Amino acid sequence: MAPWSPYLVVRTLDQFLLFIIILLFLLCSSCTCFAISGEAEALVKWKDSLDMNPTTHSLLRSWNLNSTNSTSHHHHNTPCSWVGITCNDFGSVINVTLESSNLKGTLHNFNFSSFPSLLTLGFYNNSLYGSIPSHIGNLSTLTSLDMGFNHLFGNIPSQICLLTSLRFLALANNYLSGSIPPQIGMLVSLEVIYAYRNNLSGSIPVSIGNLSKLTELSLDKNKIIGSIPNEIGQLKSLTSLYMFDNQLIGSIPVSIGNLSELAKLGLNGNKIVGSIPSEIGQLKSLTILSLFVNQLSGSIPMSIGNLSKLTELSLRGNKIVGSIPNEIGQLKSLTTLFLFDNQLGGSIPMSIGNLSKLTELNVGENKIVGPILNEIGHLKSLTILYLHDNQLSGLIPMSIGNLSKLTDLSLRGNKIVGSILNEIGRLKSLIHLDLDNNQLIGSIPASIGQLKSLIHLSLEDNYLTGYLPDNICLNGKLRRFAAGFNSFKGSIPKSITNCSSLRKFSVEGNQLKGNISEELGIYPNLYYMDLSNNKFFGELTKIWGQFPNLTMLNISNNKISGRLPPELGKAMQLHKLDLSSNLFVGKIPKELGQLKLLYILMLNNNFLSENIPVEIGMTSELETLDLAANQLSGPIPMHLEHCSKLLHLNLRNNKFSGNIPFQIGNLHSLQNLDLSKNLLSGKLPLELGHLDKLETFNLSHNNLSGSIPFTFNELMSLTSVDISHNQLEGPLPNNKAFLEAPFEALEDNKGLCGNNTNIKICPIPKENRSKVIIFSVVVSISCALILSFIIVRVLLICKKRKRHVDEPRQTQTTVTFFEAWSHNGKNVHEEIVESTESFSSKYCIGVGGFGSVYKAALSTGQVFAVKKLHENGGASKEAFDSEINVLTRARHRNIIKLHGFCSHARHSYLVYEFMEEGSLVKILSDNVKAMELEWTKRINVVKGLADAISYMHHECCPAIIHRDITAKNVLLDDDYEAHISDFGSATTLDLESSNWTPFAGTLGYSAPELAYTMEVNEKIDMYSFGVVTLEVIMGKHPGDLISSLLPSPLPDFDVLLKDVLDQRLSPPRRQIADQVISIAEIAFACLQQSPQSRPTIKQVSQKLSTPIQSLSEPFHMITVKQLFDSPTWIS
């Protein structure tokens, strides 16, 4: 055989290599086909696990193993042509993207291991729920993961940190909780993290500093705690950093100055302290700096002037001191400057006139002094200028007339002098002008009547004189005119008489005059009119029945005469009616009893006569009734007992006769009662002693007789009493008000006695004197015997206790505490009873339907709220069991914490954490407290309430339905964080059986369908949530407004939102205003008549956490009807 030639060897090797390559290709092809088939099966299996709806079914119709590709891959099943699927050149799935596809289901059946080549996984804006599976860490090639805007909950799995190729991570707008995994720093390729609007807690891991490629980091709207780590300064590529609306503390790290690429920085809505670091001035790329609503102190650093690209600067709502730095004038790109609600002093720097692009300037609510600079007139782009509530002085500069784009100007609450300039009339775009509470003099310039866009003109509390301009409403748009507490004279101008757009007209405290029946016109949208303390005369006519939206009418202290027109009863929206101190005669019209929303009625100091009509007792919302100093006669009507909310009742100085009706004692809310200077006789009814909230009590100058009932001992709230000039006798009640009453409050009675230094001591009755002597002797003799007996008895007790130590007790007391107490339950029980002096009324802080609440301060320094059940059997016991059942399994930061309970033969009670600020209704009814509850805090109250309800409805199994969500049952801690309490009416939602129960709830908060059905579902809580939400922003119960809206608002119902908001607060501005509008829209959606039309709490939570869209019209023009009519966000 011939030897192998080199040529043959090479040829043979080539053939062998070709064979190997063909074999490998066939093997790879077979593997690829197998892998493709596995991917298709995995996708179909996941599709089959979803909660199918018509939209999803239609969208995923192509996801079918029967669909084949006949032109490639040997006829194997391939998903490459399916909707939302992209494959690589080898047919392997690299992209699964189904955004906004209405998918509903979990990820637990998604086999991540079946997709070895997957690069992108996107399920943005669906309804996926459940947790993120830990085996998502098998997607080792993944570069983009978008699970944002779903309903996912649970922790972020630590395995997500195995996705080391990941560049984009979006988990925003879900319900994820727990901490950010500390291993997050392993994802060194990450460029974007969106985790905003979740329930993430814990601190920001320091390993985040390893993400050197990160350009966007959004962790806002979570519950993240701790400080911002110093390592944040290592993220040199960062362009946007959002951590707002968390619970961050500590100071802003100086390392933040290293982020040279940073354009947007949002740290607002936290509890960050300390000064703004000067290093902030190194962020030369910054366009937005939001640090508002923190606890920042110190001064604004001068280095802020280096931020030449800055367009928005908001530092409002902090504790910043010092002056506004002159360097602020270097921010030539600035459009928005918000420094209000701080403690800034000094004067406004002249350099502010350099900010030619500025559109909004608000430095209100500070301590700024000095004049308003002439340079302010250089800001030609300005639309909003708020300098309110400072200490500015001097004149209004003439240059202000240059601000031709200005829509809102507020200078109220300063010390500005001089006159209102004619130049104001050049501000042709002006909508809002507020000059209240200054020291302005002179008259209103006629040029103001030329402002054709003017809607709101407020000039109250100045020293203005002269006449109201004739042309004040020539534009036909004026809605609010307030000029009270000045020295205007003359009559109401004709342009006001014909101003049908008018909604609020207040000119109280002037020297205006004229015939009231001729001065006023028809105002279909009028809701507020105050003409008090002027010199108007004439009579009230039938015209007053033609104001369907009127809520407040005050014409007190004028010279108006004649009879009260019955037509007043047609003004069905009236809340306050004050006609006092005039010259009215005749009887009180019974038609006033039709005013079901009336809560203040003041007719005092007139010449009204005859009886009080019984219909007045039908005004069930009445809180103040003052009929003093008239000529009313007859008996006090017993029907007043139906005015169960009455706080102040004044019938002084009339001619009422007969007995005091015992039904007055049923007015359990009454705080002030004055029946003095009448012709009342007879004995004092026992029932008056039940008025446990009564503070002032005047019965003087009547003909009352007999002794003072023993029940008066229980009037523990009483601070002032006057029973002089009657025929009363016997001992005084044993409480502070009576024992400390001055002589003048007790004089001229028949024979009062007691432990008051102004009257004699009560004598010991004759028949008891011998008993006293015998008693003294017996006591003296017995002392020695008792001492001996005690010694013997102690020895016997000790012996008996030893004998019975192991015997079971026949009467068992159950005392259960869930916390780690320093002593046992029995000791705690004894200490609670001792600290409340056996539940004495002086420790009582509230009374509910099922029990009274007491404040118990233990010797450990701990303070608790203890609810002791009423002793009325079944109802209280059921509520007791319900609270224990719910609160032992409900754990949420916005639900009241139950520390323990006691079931005892004598005392049964529940022990809760003590809420320092008390109930929401208590705060809103206190003017000082209500003003402390400013808009940001109120927004957080609504969010906290929504979080708690969301937890009850969606995270508890079975779901908990509260059934009695009211402002009284929302408690606030010292951080004004909301906590839902009182679960006595709560029930669980059983999907397997009927959910019909007896009625529970509070009128005014209960859903309307409960009038005809007892079926319980989550929508009844949503209605109550809507009522409470409105109460938060209105500052009072919204019953009147709801009545106006339901079942549907009238076509001409056009009340402005800002006019129904709590008037004790300054109107909300910019972002806060947007949030208030959003919250109002949510509230109105929850109040829809049909339960099916109301949103779920999930939808509410999503709405609360969705970015607020810019409004198409200014806040002050938004109407209630607009928001009620279009809840388009409910899907």
Q: 432, 405, 503, 507: which is closest to 462 by C-alpha?
A: 507
Has 470 been annotated as catalytic? no
- Beta bridge pairs of residue 369: 391
Q: Write out the H or E segment, with its range, that includes residue 516.
A: helix 516-519
* CA atoms of 890 and 962, how far apart (whole Å): 12
Distant-in-sequence, close-in-space partners of 600: CB < 8 Å, separation ≥ 6: 575, 576, 577, 578, 622, 623, 624
Spatial distance between the Cα atoms of 1105 and 227, rounded to a whole number of angstroms: 23
Number of H helices, E strands in the chain: 17, 61
Q: How many CB atoms lie within 10 A of CB 78?
A: 22
Q: What distance in Å separates the CA atoms of residue 509 and residue 270, rounded to the nearest whole number?
A: 44
The token pair that represents 335 in the structure block: 């459009």
Q: Where are the beta strands (DSSP E) in 381-438?
A: 384-386, 391-394, 408-410, 415-416, 432-434
42 near 79, Cβ under 8 Å? no
Altogether, the residues listed in the chain come to a count of 1131
1021, 949 Cβ separation under 8 angstroms: yes
Contact 714, 737 (CB under 8 A): no
Distance CA 464, CA 442 (A): 5
Gyration radius (Cα) of the chain, Å = 37
Q: Which two tokens stand for residue 763?
A: 């004598």
Q: What angle do CA 1119, 1120, 1124 make, to 5 degrees?
A: 125
Q: How far apart are CA 160 and CA 180, in angstroms?
A: 11
Please classify residue 18 by burial: count the beta carbons closer than 10 Å to its beta carbon, then call 0-12 exposed, 13-18 middle and 19+ buried: exposed
The encoded tokens of residue 497 equal: 């008489």
Contact 896, 949 (CB under 8 A): no
What is the three-class DSSP state of 800?
helix
Residue type, 190: L
Q: Is the dihedral of CA 743, 744, 746, 749 positive or negative?
A: positive
- Exposure on the CB side of residue 849, measured as CA atoms within 13 A: 17
* From 964, 982, 1021, 1054, active-site residue: 964
Residues 319 and 342 sit within 8 Å (Cβ to Cβ): yes
Q: Where are the beta strands (DSSP E) in 43-119?
A: 85-87, 93-97, 104-105
Strand residues in 775-874 grouped as ranges (E): 814-817, 844-847, 851-857, 863-869
Name residues whose C-beta falls within 8 Å of residue 641's C-beta, 6 or more positions apart in sequence: 617, 661, 663, 664, 666, 667
* 670, 692 Cβ separation under 8 angstroms: no
The answer to whether 44 and 64 have CB atoms below 8 angstroms apart is yes
The continuous run of DSSP H or E covering 130 comes out as: strand 127-130
Pairing label, strands 898-903, 908-913: antiparallel
Q: How far is CA 4 from the centre of its chain?
A: 96
For residue 538, the 8-state DSSP code is E
Question: Among 937, 918, 999, 962, which Cα is nearest to 1097's?
Answer: 962
Residue whose entry in the numeric block shows the structure tokens 């007999």: 706
CA distance 1028 to 645: 19
Beta strands in 687-749 (DSSP E): 696-698, 703-707, 720-722, 727-731
Active site residues: 964
